[in-house]
Structure 1
Amino acid sequence: MDTFHSKLHYYLVTHPTITTFEWKPNHTWGASPLFLTTTLFTYLSLTFTLRHVTIPTITPIILRLISALHNLILLTLSLTMAVGCSLATISQMPTHRWIFCFPNPTPPRGPVFFWAHVFYFSKLIEFIDTLLIILSGSSRRLSFLHVYHHSVVVVMCYFWLSTSQSLLPVALVTNASIHVLMYAYYLLCALGWRPWWKVLVTNCQIVQFVFSFLVSGLMLYYHFTGSGCSGFGGWCFNAVFNASLLALFVNFHFKNYAKKNKEKGF
Structure 2
Amino acid sequence: MEIPFFPTLFTTVRSLVVRQPFFPTLEDLLVNHPKILGFSWNNGQTPASSQRFLALTVLCYISFTFILSQVSRPSLARPVLKSISALHNLFLVTLSFIMALGCLVSIFSQVPNFKTLVCFPKRTSPSGPLFFWGYIFYLSKIVEFMDTLLIILGNSMKRLSFLHVYHHSMVVIMSYVCVNSAQSSFSMVLVTNCTVHVVMYAYYLMCTLGVRPKWKKMVTDFQLVQFWSSFLIMAMLAFYHFTGSGCSGFLSWCFNAAFIVSLLFLFSDFHAKNYSPKVKNA
Specify the TM-score bucket, using the shorter chain as the normaliser. over 0.9
Would the aligned equivalents of 2:103 and 2:187 in 1 still touch at CA under 8 Å? yes
> 1:220 aligned to 238, 247, 254, which one?
238
1:74 aligns with one of 82, 85, 92: 92
C-alpha distance 110-195 of structure 1, shift in aligned 2 (>3 A): same
Give the structure 1 partner of residue 5 of structure 2.
Answer: none
2-structure distance, mates of 1:264, 1:150: 28
- TM-score (normalised: structure 1): 0.96
1:41-60 to structure 2, matched below 5 A, reads: 41-60=59-78
- 1:62-115 per-residue CA deviation (whole Å, 9 max, x = no partner) reads 111110000000000000000000001111112221111101121100000000
Residue type of the partner of 1:157? S
Structure 2: gaps (5+ residues):
1-19
Instruction: Please state how far the C-alpha of 1:7 moved relative to its aligned partner.
Output: 3.1
Q: Which runs of 5+ in 1 are unaligned?
A: none
CA contact (8 A) 2:97 2:194 kept: yes
The answer to whether the 8 A contact 2:273-2:279 is kept is no
Match of 2:252 among 210, 234, 243: 234
Q: How far apart, in 1, do the equivalents of 2:174 and 2:110 lie?
A: 22
Which residue pairs with 2:55 in the alignment?
A: 37
What's the C-alpha RMSD, in Å, of the aligned pairs? 1.5
Count residues in correspondence: 264
What is the deviation of 1:264?
4.3
4+ residue runs over 6 A deviation: none
Equivalent of 1:61 in 79, 96, 99: 79
Aligned partners of 2:149, 2:159: CA distance in 1, in Å? 11
TM-score by length of 2: 0.91
Q: Give the whole-Å Cα distance in 2 for the aligned partners of 1:143 and 1:249.
A: 12
Tell me the percent identity: 52
SS at match of 2:31: helix
Q: Label 1:205 to 1:59 Cα distance change in 2 as closer, same or farther (>3 A).
A: same
| Corresponding position of 1:198 | 216
Alignment equivalent of 1:125, drawn from 140, 143, 146: 143
> CA deviation digits over 1:13-48, x for unaligned, max 9?
100000000111111111111010010111111111
Structure 2 partner of 1:255: 273
Deviation at 1:54, TM superposition (A): 1.1
Q: What secondary structure does 1:140 align onto?
A: helix
